[in-house]
Amino acid sequence: MDLEYTAEERAFRDEVRDFLADELPTDISEKVRTGHELGKDDHERWQAILHERGWLAQTWPAEHGGPGWSPVQRHIFDEEAALADAPRLVPFGLNMLGPVLIEFGTPEQRRELLPRILDSTDWWCQGYSEPDAGSDLASLRTRAVRDGDHYVVNGQKTWTTLGQHADRIFCLVRTAAEGKPQAGISFLLMDLDDPGIEMRPIRLIEGGHEVNEVFLTDVHVPVANLVGEENQGWTIAKFLLTHERTNIAGVGFATRGLARLRRLGTQVVRGGAPLGEDPVFAARLVELEARLEAMKVTNLRMLSAVQAGGSPGAASSMLKITGTQLRQDINDLSRRALGPGAAAMPHELDGDLAIVPDGAEATAAHYFNNRKLSIYGGSNEIQRNILARQLLGA
Amino acid sequence: MDFTTSDDRQMLAEALRRLLADTWDPETRATAAYTTPYHLPTAWKALAEMGVLAAMVDEDHGGFGGTGLDLLAIFTEVGRATCPEPLLATLLALRLLSSVDAGDDLETVMAGTRAVVAFAEPDDPDAVHDLATTAHGGGGGWRVTGRKSVVHGGPGADLLVVTAMADDVMVLLAVDPSDAAMHDYGLIDGGGASEVVLEDTPARLLGTDVGGALDAALDAGRVALCAEAVGAMDRLVDMTTDHLGARKQFGRPLASFQALQHRVVDLSLEREQARSITIRAAADLDTPAGPRSVALAKHLVGQCARKVAEESIQLHGGIGMTWEYPGAHVAKRLVMLDAQLGDSDHQVQRVVAMDAADA
């Protein structure tokens, strides 16, 4: 057994580190570090830099413009990018629609749409969940009725992340009412400026605008915008759920979060001594470190299996639960480390008036915002159902 | 043994519950608590008129309550309503003003002049006896210099009650906020606070050697925070059970899934543990057993409150993550109140220190 990266992988890691040090704009990494919201232009600028290097579409095969990375290489990039305070790549076009089109799309769809994802012409968003179809996604009710060479779509989507920046949306829609609910779902592409589409912001618990509701009223969508066969949408959605998930543990984010927390322990004074010398705090920090070290190895075990041609399968459910809980607990201890000053609204007190260490201003906001981690992408309860079926055969 | 609430307290609690429910409906809470001055001055006046402030003061000092059980009754309602009025800050002020027999100030504060206590400093907020703020008296009256941090209720306050060191003795001073540099800001769980910068600022001496009085006032404040948490947990657990009953997925109510049933039952256990230890602390406040009971309560309640908040959000799913959902604001308050007046971990260390000192 060898837990270390190969010489090639280590060389790749150095290459990624150098690239991030040289090419990641400091104004963008500074926004990430201090918890300022990134604008659309920040994302697009970073995407253009990655595209220039050929590293943008990390999950795509080389013949479609991907870098041809192995799962371990993708993991190395994710980890290094998080540690360098690079923006999280918005996944909807790059890691979701792109792979779907490559697997299920027509040659015309691939030819038309993939380059527009790569050069950031199209910002895609996702229309999956509905107000009454969350964990029970297959019960979705947005209907698409065939009318000549169009579908007429009516319904409502919700939790559409960063839809306010998007040009286009991919939706799961109901095209058949009979049979199992999963059997009547199709995967449809729409332009957000099509008549009948209205997007409204949803404000999140900490006050940010990250997700949206999308109302669809008699939207006419060309049949050519169907991906895959009619009623094949559930198969595509399931494909995506496995594809989405090699970085599901968020090892890089957890590693960065724990390093920052350790630094807070040296910066914050509590009861006359650095917080890091407080035995209760120190013990909590070590507990988190042990969980992170274990999760890193679980993650590498999964990557190694995938690299050898296996499917992440149940391991991705396990890592989703473990990773999100760990990140939430790191957020929690970070917020607690700041004491009463954690409650100040982010960035209202800067400079001489700052009451928390530089970069920690949005800690409580992140804590609340990251409660989403265990809810989205298939809630942790749904992941437990998947694991229970596997363990118990039930 | 008798766990019933006295008639007077019951009446006050019910009247307060109605007033707060009428004033602090969810829409008002979601805007006014996050907009300067981060509370409603008209609502403050109504609280004073109802006698809520006088109910925090004992009869010897012109009030009609002031015991731990009075605080339990009042602040449970504050928590149930997620009321952002800076009642805790004023409770601390009333306690300190009582301890130095500041009769005139007490009278005006009970009548609605809003006083808040500035006791914590930015570099080490828990070290409330180890102050960098200094004061000195002389021919021209008292002057105070230093910085006070996260002064809850500071925005729009009428009177600052400030702790400072004069030589080696802690003194209590009254400062007019218009004489101080007040830097106001909003809090993530609603309400506002100020950074207060004092630079040779004129002050009025209220009392000297007030370290013990400060500890006693902070303990009263801790009981109030525990009670607030219990009221907020009552509301949030109710909202969570309502949601599980109403929300259907996979063709049946979430409440019918055993995995979720067990989790909401666990929340009700947390809440009852919190309620019981808060009753213990409220009954022991101002007795020799008080400091230890209060520290135990603040420790346990801080943990229960966070667990209830986190699990309630999770059990609500996405809707629990939204600003529009009132429960989200209750959850934020439940998480953040732990950091006030020494968090859960700090209380453990206080108990250990108390026991070591007694050994």
- Provide the pLDDT for residue B4: 86
Q: Is B149 within 8 Å of A355 when comparing Cβ atoms?
A: yes
Spatial distance between the Cα atoms of A150 and A178, rounded to a whole number of angstroms: 21
Helix, strand or coil, per DSSP, at residue A157: strand
Task: Specify the DSSP class assigned to residue A193.
Answer: T
A263 touches chain B (CB under 8 A): no
Region(s) of chain B under CATH 2.40.110.10: 116-209
Provide ipTM, 2 decimals. 0.97
- Provide the pLDDT for residue A155: 98
B246 touches chain A (CB under 8 A): no
- Provide the pLDDT for residue A247: 80
List, for residues A371-393, the tens digit of each pLDDT value. 999 999 899 999 999 999 999 98
pLDDT of A308 strictly over 90: no
B7-114 CATH fold: Butyryl-Coa Dehydrogenase, subunit A; domain 1 (1.10.540)
Residues of A in contact with B122 (CB under 8 A): 341, 355
pLDDT of B72 strictly over 60: yes
Return the closest-CA partner of residue B70 out of B42, B91, B96. Answer: B91
- Range B323-346 average pLDDT: 97
- Provide the pLDDT for residue A248: 86
pLDDT of A310 strictly over 90: no
A370 touches chain B (CB under 8 A): no
Highest mean pLDDT of the ranges A36-40, A347-351, B327-331: B327-331
List, for residues A129-154, the tens digit of each pLDDT value. 999 999 999 999 999 999 999 999 99
- Range B337-342 average pLDDT: 98
Q: What angle is formed at CA A311 by the lines to CA A306 and CA A312, rounded to 5 degrees?
A: 80
Give catalytic status of residue A9 as yes or no.
no
More confident residue, A312 or B186: B186
Residues of A in contact with B323 (CB under 8 A): 202-205, 207
Catalytic residue among A103, A244, A289, A381: A244
Q: What angle is formed at CA A34 by the lines to CA A30 and CA A39, rounded to 5 degrees?
A: 65
The CA-atom distances, in angstroms, between B276 and each of A198, B81, B104, B221, B264 are 50, 20, 37, 17, 19
Spatial distance between the Cα atoms of B191 and B33, rounded to a whole number of angstroms: 5
Mutant choice from A353, A366, A374, A380 vs B, greatest count of B C-beta within 10 A: A353
Q: Is B345 within 8 Å of A280 when comparing Cβ atoms?
A: yes
pLDDT of A264 strictly over 60: yes
More confident residue, A3 or B96: B96
Residues of B in contact with A345 (CB under 8 A): 185-188
Fill in the amino acid letter for B336.
M
B116-209 CATH fold: Butyryl-CoA Dehydrogenase, subunit A; domain 2 (2.40.110)
pLDDT of A202 strictly over 60: yes
The CA-atom distances, in angstroms, between B279 and each of B2, B126, B282 are 12, 25, 5
List, for residues B132-142, the tens digit of each pLDDT value. 999 999 888 99
List, for residues A162-193, the tens digit of each pLDDT value. 999 999 999 999 999 998 999 999 999 999 99
Mutant choice from B148, B189, B335 vs A, greatest count of A C-beta within 10 A: B335
pTM metric for this prediction: 0.97
Spatial distance between the Cα atoms of B17 and B23, rounded to a whole number of angstroms: 10
Return the closest-CA partner of residue B181 out of B165, B206, B200. Answer: B200
pLDDT of A242 strictly over 80: no
- Structural domains of chain A, ranges and CATH numbers in brackets: 7-89 (1.10.540.10), 124-231 (2.40.110.10), 244-392 (1.20.140.10)
Residues of B in contact with A341 (CB under 8 A): 122, 125, 149-150
Q: Is B125 within 8 Å of A207 when comparing Cβ atoms?
A: no
Closest partner residue to A280 (CB to CB) among B124, B126, B348 is B348
Closest partner residue to B183 (CB to CB) among A204, A353, A374 is A353
- Range A230-252 average pLDDT: 85
DSSP A218-282: EEEEEGGGEESSTT-HHHHHHHHHHHTTTTTT-HHHHHHHHHHHHHHHHH-EETTEEGGG-HHHH
The alpha carbon of residue A376 is apart from the nearest alpha carbon of chain B, in Å, by 8
pLDDT band at A254 (very low <50, low <70, confident <90, very high): very high
- A-proximal residues of B, 182-241, CB under 8 Å: 183, 185-189, 193, 195
| Those residues with Cβ within 8 angstroms of residue A67's Cβ, 6 or more apart along the chain or in another chain | A54, A55, A57, A58, A73
- Provide the pLDDT for residue A314: 84
pLDDT of A282 strictly over 70: yes
Q: What is the dihedral of CA A205, A208, A210, A215, to 10 degrees?
A: 70
Spatial distance between the Cα atoms of B7 and B74, rounded to a whole number of angstroms: 14
- Provide the pLDDT for residue A307: 86
Spatial distance between the Cα atoms of A275 and B342, rounded to a whole number of angstroms: 14
- Provide the pLDDT for residue A246: 67
The alpha carbon of residue B3 is apart from the nearest alpha carbon of chain A, in Å, by 34
Residues of B in contact with A365 (CB under 8 A): 188
List, for residues B23-32, the tens digit of each pLDDT value. 999 999 999 9
pLDDT band at B240 (very low <50, low <70, confident <90, very high): very high
Q: From B337, which residue of chain A is nearest by alpha-carbon distance?
A: A340
- Provide the pLDDT for residue A394: 67
Q: From B260, which residue of chain A is nearest by alpha-carbon distance?
A: A381
List, for residues A315-366, the tens digit of each pLDDT value. 889 999 999 999 999 999 999 999 999 999 998 998 899 999 999 999 999 9
Region(s) of chain B under CATH 1.20.140.10: 213-358
Task: Count CB atoms within 10 A of the CB of residue B179.
Answer: 14
pLDDT of A313 strictly over 90: no
% pLDDT > 70, chain A: 99
- Provide the pLDDT for residue A243: 67
The alpha carbon of residue A159 is apart from the nearest alpha carbon of chain B, in Å, by 8
Region(s) of chain B under CATH 1.10.540.10: 7-114
- Average pLDDT of chain B is 97
pLDDT band at B198 (very low <50, low <70, confident <90, very high): very high
- Provide the pLDDT for residue A1: 77
Residues of B in contact with A340 (CB under 8 A): 120, 125, 149-150, 339-340
- Range B149-165 average pLDDT: 98
List, for residues A94-118, the tens digit of each pLDDT value. 999 999 999 999 999 999 999 999 9
Find out if CATH 3.30.950.10 is the number for domain B213-358.
no
A194 touches chain B (CB under 8 A): no
- A-proximal residues of B, 326-345, CB under 8 Å: 328, 331-332, 335-336, 338-340, 343, 345
pLDDT of A244 strictly over 60: no
CB–CB of B214/B170 below 8 Å? yes
Q: Is B122 within 8 Å of A341 when comparing Cβ atoms?
A: yes
- Provide the pLDDT for residue A44: 97
